[in-house]
A and B are shown apart, each in its own frame.
Chain A
Amino acid sequence: MKLIISAPPHIKEDVSIEKIMWSMVIALLPVTLMAVYVFGLSALYIVLVSVLTAVLTEAILQKMSDKRITIQDGNAVLIGLLLALLFPPNIPLWIPIVGVMIAMVFAKHAFGGLGHTIFNPPLVGVAFLMISWPSLMTFASAPRFGASLPYILEYGATRLADVSPLAMIGALYLLYKRYIDWRIPLSFIVIVALSALLLRIDLSSIFTGVLILGIFFLATDHSTTPVTKIGRFIFGAGCGILIIIYGQFGTYFEGICYSILLMNCFTALIDKYTAPNPSRRYVSWLKKS
């Protein structure tokens, strides 16, 4: 009888990087389908081109640097899909190719690949495109036929993710399975809602599909956010404040993009100053029992 000797624990939770990444992709599928329904084939092409470019770029980069090819873990697909959802529907198809390549090469693999990224890869891609070709990245809403259902089906949408904020309900499942953290979205939403109330901003102009995407899928990206519990609250709150500031002086879309990127800069600092303090090490646990 041959027995395996290994260190404890001898059981592991049924969770893996593959599971987390593919679950996030699946959670984004409804909104992608809605976008295709509203914008037609052009949206489908954008999604396909983005995802394919992401997967190919990753495979080529890893082949070139003699690393194991990890396209099956779903991270490349997720980055491609997230980027696609941030595009307006009428862009030339070379735009997603450039954006995704910037995201994969400079934001993900230049820093060491999965787990080592400092800036959120999809947002780096979008930021690059917005600075380089600002006119192509905006979309004047075309009049469309059919009545809009607020938050469910918005014909006035200017970006793929905007078509249906409610279609991203899959994020709740991700929260329930703890695949994404709940602290960042909570403080993020609370801060945005509070500021909107204080500044008398129309909530429906803020809570667009892109913001929901930002809150649940971009701001919760694991590697680029703090690990401490308090740190994650601070991160979400910081994003919320920055979005409102951006929105007051620019557009909310820029706000979502740059606020998360700016807070990514502070991740290491937040982690350092919110590391758990020995003097209250038992407190949090004992309160629960």
Chain B
Amino acid sequence: MKQIAVMKVPERVVIPVTEPLVAIGDTVNVGQKIGESEHSSVSGEVVEISKLSNKNVLSLVIKTSEDLSIEFQPKENPSPEGIKQILKLAGIPIELTPSEIVILNGTDEKPYVTANHALMLEYLDEILGGLKILMKATGASRGVIVICDSDSDVMGVMKADAKENEIEIIPSKTTYVQCTEDLMKNAIAKGSKAMVSNIGIAKAVYDAVFLGKPLIEAVVTVTGAKESQNVLARIGAPLRSLIETCGGYEGEPEKIIVNGPMTGTAQYTDEVPVTKGTYGVLVQYDGTTGEIRPCIDCARCVDVCPKDLLPNVLAISADHARFDVCVTYRLKDCIECGSCAYVCPSKIPIVQLIKYAKAELEKKE
């Protein structure tokens, strides 16, 4: 079975660019450099350069015509320095730090996101190759891929190949906060220097080094459309076109969320483009979350907090503007994973209150 559906080329794409290298009216091709670290994901004509949704960043609007691609030129056997250069040119958002272990995060926010799972089934060799390159560039001696223990199919496929390439596979419990970077670092590296990256990046690294292809596509899990599936999306394509690829809406949508239901952002329109960091789109048809009741100190939030905080104290102190209490109870350690607000029987927006307290404290500094 094919894991990843390829979307048809959207009519127009919107790509945020820091410093545009092209002007209105120019024709661009697939993979052409259009900004500092941005590349066109389609071929067509630049019709607009303006500040669209985000007030600080310029966006390029490209109207697509036929799908023409520039010729990708890979470099032969690059040095670690060379790799860094290539990755920078390909616009891959990754920071290479010298480390002993490179960890690839293959866990997903199940069941809403399965992009990593699909990538590992579809592009196994590329991912292992990408990890090898990252290890070479950072001088790491260990390569680790963390996989949810429920993904036994991936584990089966990967085991032989990983052994051949001397890459470790570490199964992790299929829970939600597992995916957090520093928890993973602490659990696996145990003090030695480590770099955490994800499966999508590893594939992009492989493409950049062996094919010379810049980062112009992302695998996105679309959930809540008629056919929920993983889609290989062009960067800059509007969410609407992704949802159309999956058969369209099932009814009148009330919420569209980018990047997982726990930490994702609710969007105000479905014209928002796919960016390099997009991995999930969730459509909800019932956006209500229930009435907010007083906190009854049931301590369910305390039991789930991965950072061993007291979310009930933080939320109430933030609500009462007692930010000094928030600091005493280690507000800054909160990773905003959302577990506390998820289990809250009183439906208190704990994460929102914590974010508010953080913002207020920042203002004071």
Contacts and interface: CB of A to CB of B under 8 A. Distances in A.
B180 to A, nearest CB: 10
21 contacts: A1-B269, A3-B256, A3-B266, A6-B266, A7-B355, A8-B266, A9-B261, A9-B262, A10-B257, A10-B264, A10-B282, A11-B342, A15-B343, A16-B347, A19-B345, A113-B294, A222-B298, A226-B299, A227-B302, A227-B310, A285-B307
B172 interface: yes
Interface stretch (A38-46, A97-105, A131-139, A274-282): A274-282
B333 interface: yes
A4 B355 contact: no
B303 A8 contact: no
Contact of A12 (B264, B313, B344): B344
B160 interface: no
A258 B300 CA distance: 27
A3 B269 contact: yes
A232 B299 contact: yes
A227 B298 CA distance: 7
A170 B341 CA distance: 27
Contacts of A1: 252-253, 269-270
Contact of B308 (A9, A226, A276): A276
Nearest to B264: A8
Interface residues of B, number: 61
A53 B345 CA distance: 26
Contacts of B253: 1, 3
A223 B293 CA distance: 13
Q: Which 4 A/B pairs are nearest by Cβ-Cβ distance?
A: A9-B338, A4-B287, A7-B352, A115-B294
Nearest to B262: A9
Contacts of A289: 172-173, 178, 187
A4 B299 CA distance: 29
Interface size, A (range): 35 or more
Given A17-B293, A222-B296, A284-B308, A10 B329 contact: no
A120 interface: no
Contact of A278 (B173, B186, B284, B333): B333
A6 B308 contact: no
B338 A281 contact: no
Nearest to B190: A286
Nearest to A19: B345
Contact of B261 (A7, A8, A226): A8
Contacts of A113: 294
A15 B345 contact: yes
Interface string B224-263: 0000000000000000000000000000111111000111
B307 A227 contact: no
Nearest to B170: A289
Given A9-B261, A12-B289, 6 more contacts: A4-B254, A8-B262, A11-B261, A16-B293, A227-B302, A228-B302
Nearest to A224: B297
B261 A114 contact: no
Given A20-B345, A115-B295, A3 B267 contact: yes
A56 B261 CA distance: 41
A276 B329 CA distance: 8
Given A13-B342, A289-B172, A181 B299 contact: yes
B101 interface: no
Q: Is the interface of B mostly helix, strand, loop or mixed?
A: loop
Contacts of B266: 3-6, 8, 10
A285 B306 contact: yes
A229 interface: yes
A286 to B, nearest CB: 6
Contacts of B346: 16-17, 115
Contact of B297 (A3, A7, A9, A225): A225
Contacts of A178: 300, 303
B254 A3 contact: yes
Contacts of A4: 254-255, 266, 287
A276 B309 contact: yes
A116 interface: yes
B144 to A, nearest CB: 14
A99 B344 CA distance: 32
Contacts of A285: 183, 306-308
A178 B183 CA distance: 25
Contact of B296 (A2, A8, A114): A114
Nearest to A116: B294
Q: Which of B183, B264, B290, B308 counts the most chain A CB atoms within 10 A? A: B308
B279 to A, nearest CB: 15
B134 interface: no
B265 interface: yes
A37 B89 CA distance: 81
Nearest to A276: B308
B298 A12 contact: no
A5 B262 contact: no
Contacts of A115: 293-297, 346
B312 interface: yes
Contact of A275 (B262, B310, B349): B310
A275 B338 CA distance: 21
